């Protein structure tokens, strides 16, 4: 395998020319000097359309790539601007990274996957980035996915619940698909307005396709679902049924203990003293 092809594989780049690769004396950082191939040059970073040259922008830029073991990798290239007919002066599109991002596409994809499969501490320590950066990366990845897929398409059985995500009673309303087990919608708040917002995004035609809606009995769900999806069966989810049963059982036990009858003691020869409940 020739050296250029090797670096293409290691850097995970496509439609890219690798001019040279440099390493610092300590061997902790590798910088690859790259540039787009001829057919990928002078394209708008927002719409990927061809546009005329505008200026050199802010000069050369660096993008963080996936580490090579413990060695950090950066891609460096010129970042001129083109005069897009739709978006005006805009930094050119580069094949290895999203517009206005400081990381490569492979780096973004790895972080997004780890955020689903690992803990917060594991993601930040493994990728050596801040948790705030993880949130920005997830937003970019999801924006690309939402542009080509519709997560609300084909929903028939859904579950609605809320989750606390900050101190001070800050809640998110989340909607999951029972058929796939995936999160399909989330928004701040837990009230009627939030539920109406979900059904507005779903649309009237797809609201009629719902057959079952599970929830925890919250009024802001039971009030809105019959209005927006009257044909759907509103049911309680198994988690809250078990939770309510355990809470009721604990309440009965507590009341039985508080109103227990006086105890009588009995003792037999050779045995310890044990209480006997009077009948």
Return the pLDDT at 272: 45
Share of the chain residues as helix, strand and coil, in percent rounded to the nearest 5: 35, 35, 35
Give dist(CA 69, CA 48) in Å, integer.
33
| Confidence at 269, pLDDT banded by 50, 70, 90 | low
Global model pTM greater than 0.85: no
For 32-79, what is each residue's pLDDT tens digit? 999 999 999 999 999 999 999 999 998 999 999 999 999 999 999 999
Mean pLDDT over 8-16 rounds to 90
Return the pLDDT at 259: 76
For 204-261, what is each residue's pLDDT tens digit? 999 999 999 999 888 999 999 999 999 999 998 888 889 889 999 999 998 888 876 6
The least confident of 142-146, 238-242, 262-266 is 262-266
List the beta bridge partners of residue 166.
170
In the block, which residue shows the tokens 């057959």? 211
On the question of pLDDT at 273 being above 60, the answer is no
Return the pLDDT at 6: 86
| Confidence at 265, pLDDT banded by 50, 70, 90 | very low
Chain centroid offset of residue 198 CA = 18
């Amino acid at each position: 395998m020739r050296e250029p092809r090797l670096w293409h594989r290691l850097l995970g780049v496509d439609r890219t020319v690798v001019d040279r690769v440099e390493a610092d004396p300590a061997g902790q950082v590798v910088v690859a000097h790259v540039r787009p191939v001829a057919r990928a040059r002078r394209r708008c970073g927002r719409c990927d359309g061809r546009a005329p040259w505008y200026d050199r922008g802010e000069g050369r830029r660096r993008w963080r790539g996936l580490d090579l073991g413990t060695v950090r990798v950066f891609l460096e290239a010129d970042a001129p601007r083109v005069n897009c007919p739709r978006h005006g002066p805009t930094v050119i599109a580069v094949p290895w990274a999203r517009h206005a991002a400081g990381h490569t596409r492979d780096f973004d994809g790895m972080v997004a996957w780890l955020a689903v499969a690992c803990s917060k501490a594991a993601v930040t320590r493994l990728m050596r980035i801040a948790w705030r950066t993880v949130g920005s990366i997830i937003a970019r990845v999801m924006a690309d996915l939402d542009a080509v897929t519709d997560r609300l398409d084909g929903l028939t059985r859904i579950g609605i619940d809320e989750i606390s995500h900050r101190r001070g009673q800050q809640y998110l309303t989340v909607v999951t698909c029972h058929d796939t087990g995936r999160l399909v919608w989330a928004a701040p708040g837990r009230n009627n307005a939030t539920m109406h917002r979900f059904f507005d995004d779903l649309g009237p035609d797809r609201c009629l396709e719902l057959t079952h809606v599970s929830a925890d009995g919250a009024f802001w769900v039971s009030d809105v679902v019959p209005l927006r999806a009257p044909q759907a069966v509103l049911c309680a989810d198994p988690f809250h049924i078990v939770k309510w049963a355990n809470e009721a059982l604990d309440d009965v036990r507590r009341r039985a203990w508080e109103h227990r009858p006086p105890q009588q003691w009995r003792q037999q020869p050779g045995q310890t003293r044990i209480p006997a409940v009077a009948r």
